[in-house]
Amino acid sequence: MDIPASYVSLMNCALVVKRVKENSTGQSSRRVITVSEITSSASSHNAFAWNPKGDHFSDDLRESVLFKRLADTGGKEIDEVLEEYKKRILILKWMSEHDIRDYKKVAEVIGKYYRDPKSLMRQIEVEL
């Protein structure tokens, strides 16, 4: 797909989706194989890449343009932003394992995290 250069500057990221065959079943399905941050009209940074052998994503967030921007605007180091990212991954995994999908329950968990993150993280660490 050809995207005009004037539109690229309006984009933050791009996903590459590909049809792949499942190893176990042989059925075709679509997979996001890369998530790229658009750094300029001529370059991008692959923040996430799909590993078909292990069927998981690997990340390169230490070089993430967005994470660097978040660190700069928040007056933090990149390691602090990465640590916050890891905490939020744990929260999402915990919510998934506890089947928390209802809008009100999700909002309740998010509110609790913003009010008292240490308490919520202790609860999650005990239960995971």
Q: Indicate whether 1 pLDDT > 70.
A: no
Residue 96: CB atoms within 10 A of its CB come to 10
In terms of Cβ atoms closer than 10 Å to its own Cβ (0-12, 13-18, 19+), residue 37 is buried
* pTM higher than 0.75: yes
56-59 and 44-51 as β-strands: parallel, antiparallel, unpaired? antiparallel
pLDDT band at 121 (very low <50, low <70, confident <90, very high): very high
Q: Indicate whether 21 pLDDT > 90.
A: no
3-state helix, strand, coil in the chain (%, to 5): 50, 25, 25
Condensed to tens digits (0 to 9), the pLDDT of residues 74-116 reads 999 999 999 999 999 999 999 999 999 999 999 999 999 999 9
Q: Indicate whether 16 pLDDT > 80.
A: yes
The answer to whether the beta carbons of residues 18 and 33 sit under 8 Å apart is yes
Condensed to tens digits (0 to 9), the pLDDT of residues 51-61 reads 988 889 999 99
